Amino acid sequence: MVRYGRIQEDREWSQTGNREVITCLLEDFLRGRLGRSLYLTLPGLSSRAAQYACSLLGHALQKHGASPELQKQIRQLESHLSLGRKLLRLGNSADALESAKRAVHLSDVVLRFCITVSHLNRALYFACDNVLWAGKSGLAPRVDQEKWAQRSFRYYLFSLIMNLSRDAYEIRLLMEQESSACSRRLKGSGGGAPGGIENAGPGGPGTPGGGLPHLALKLQLRVLLLARILRGHPPLLLDVVRNACDLFIPLDKLGLWRCGPGIVGLCGLVSSILSILTLICPWLRLKP
């Protein structure tokens, strides 16, 4: 009987732990997005990962003095992968506009603004990228490729800024909730007044010479709280890391911060791997 009870508990725990995963997969299947993501989005992300892997490999070969012929082949492969990615993204502008239309109906004002503006900038980025593809493929040979490339990366940068702003807002909300919960626990257990270090007595901000240690302690607690929140919310952590890695790409291409092909290749590869991970595991995707 004891063994049977343990088996029943394990089954209940397994069902509860997998409920969110099954729900996400079922929602994507019913909306017709799972098949489209796997068969249309995955090849583009795989090509993106291969392209930035070639960029990183080319930088490593150049640094270690590889033969010019091998470096040329790697650059050609990177160029072909880039052109193939542009072909796979021909319909992404319409998808970004549809996502912007859905984001308009969000109840939270900040999320509605950040997500909508991000999708609109992505739509413009893909539109410029389509024009750039037409120029590189020979369909529109008179296209100024440098000008359209700068435009596309500018819209890409604005989209990433909105994404990071949304991440910062999500983190702020979670930190406020966690701080309020900690204050209630301290108040309920009689461990002190809410606010913790803000109401510290000796050595507090009102005590001479205690201002700097107080600020250092407060900053340390904030960092620990941030690490705890990100560790407890993997979708938010992956989104922050992915957007932060992507940010180096337009900054380098626009000349705002020259990182070099090695850093760009590494950041692009990490971002692509995380994007593939969130595509294969929908429960790791940040929602809405």
Per-residue pLDDT reduced to its tens digit, 151-207:
999 999 999 999 999 999 999 999 999 888 878 887 777 654 444 444 444 444 444
C-beta separation of 122 from 162 below 8 A: no
Per-residue pLDDT reduced to its tens digit, 66-97? 899 999 999 999 999 999 999 888 889 999 99
Q: How far apart are CA 122 and CA 137, in angstroms?
A: 22
Euclidean distance between CA atoms 269 and 174, whole angstroms:
29
The residue among 165, 146, 164 whose CA lies nearest residue 253 is: 146
Residue 137, token pair as written in the block: 């493929």
Residue 196 lies in a domain: no
205, part of any domain: no
- Structural tokens at position 242: 């992915």
What pLDDT sits at residue 185?
Answer: 80
* pLDDT at residue number 227: 93
**Residue whose token pair is 């120029």:** 135
Q: Please provide the distance, in angstroms rounded to a whole number, between the alpha carbons at the two ends of the chain.
A: 45
The identity of residue 190, as a single letter, is G
* Cβ atoms of residues 52 and 259 within 8 Å: no
Confirm whether 44 is domain-assigned. yes
Residue 93's CB is within 10 A of a number of other CB atoms, namely 18
Average pLDDT over residues 10-34: 47
pLDDT at 114 over 50: yes
Domain that holds residue 161: 9-184+222-284
Within a domain: residue 30? yes
Q: Output phi, psi for 106, to 5 deg.
A: -70, 145
CB 115 within 8 A of CB 288: yes
* Tens digits of residue pLDDT in 39-58: 568 888 999 999 999 999 99
**Would you say 239 and 284 are in contact if contact means Cβ atoms under 8 Å apart?**
no
- Phi, psi angle pair for 90, to nearest 5°: -65, -30
80 part of a folded domain: yes
Residue 208 maps to a domain: no
Residue 24: pLDDT band (50, 70, 90) is low
258 within domain boundaries = yes
Q: Which of 168, 193, 167, 195 is nearest to 180 (CA)?
A: 195
Alpha helices of 33-144 — where are they, by DSSP H?
33-36, 42-63, 68-88, 92-103, 109-137
Average pLDDT, the chain: 83
**Domain total in the chain:** 1
215, part of any domain? no
